[in-house]
Amino acid sequence: MGFICPECRVAQRSQLALMEHYDTMHAPTTSSQDTRQPSSRRDLVPSSHERGTTTSSSERHSHTDADGLSVDQRAFLDALAPQLLEMKQASRAIGNALDHHNAQLDRLDAKSDKAKDDMRLVTAKAINLTHTSMTIDVQFRCALQEQHSRRFLTPTSHGDPVFR
């Protein structure tokens, strides 16, 4: 699969390659050391000699913010924020549309129940008027049509409804 840059949608093979790409292509051009991101793989992954040395707790905490995230992690989250906001808005829109459609289905269900009850009353009155014991089978059909595409919902051979 790979890692995709949130800014330019370019695929990278690894997280390190993505971070290097983001640093070189999209990082702000400030010269302060606090906002500087590592620009090479050596800066991101310490060598075996550096791993063997112990760092003091003050040095370890100097590279994290108040949330406990490193500068690299914070930059990555900041880069993803616009996409997450866009997805959140899209999911809210989908949720609102589903609520609207559910309300329409509830109204249709209520109307079909009322029509069925009215048909029973008409049948009972017809029987009283004719004084015969005729049987009337009540049948009801409903077609659901998608508003924008004007396609109808139809069942398929495996049982799942599909708009056609």
The DSSP secondary structure of 12-37, one letter per residue, reads: ESSHHHHHHHHHHHTS-----SSS--
User: pLDDT (tens digit, 9 = 90+) per residue, 75-118?
Assistant: 888 889 899 999 999 999 999 999 999 999 999 999 999 999 99
Kindly indicate the confidence band of residue 156, based on its pLDDT and cuts at 50, 70 and 90. Answer: low
Kindly indicate the confidence band of residue 132, based on its pLDDT and cuts at 50, 70 and 90. Answer: low
Position 164 scores a pLDDT of 65
User: pLDDT (tens digit, 9 = 90+) per residue, 60-77?
Assistant: 445 677 777 888 888 888
Position 66 scores a pLDDT of 74
What type of residue sits at position 50?
A: E
In this prediction, residues 152-159 reach a mean pLDDT of: 70
CB 39 within 8 A of CB 54: no
Q: Per-residue pLDDT for 43 more than 70?
A: no
Half-sphere exposure of 149 (CA within 13 A, CB side): 8
Top-confidence residue, 134 or 17: 17
Q: Which of 35, 21, 25, 29 is nearest to 75 (CA)?
A: 35
Kindly indicate the confidence band of residue 163, based on its pLDDT and cuts at 50, 70 and 90. Answer: low
Q: Is the model's pTM score more than 0.85? A: no
Contacts of residues 12-18 at CB distance under 8 Å and 24 or more positions apart, as own/partner, are 16/41, 16/44, 16/45
Top-confidence residue, 119 or 56: 119
For 162, phi and psi rounded to 5 degrees? Answer: -140, 145
Position 40 scores a pLDDT of 45
Residue 102 token pair = 């559910």
Supply the mean pLDDT for the chain: 75
Share of the chain above pLDDT 70, in %: 66
Beta bridge partners of 12: 3
Top-confidence residue, 90 or 51: 90
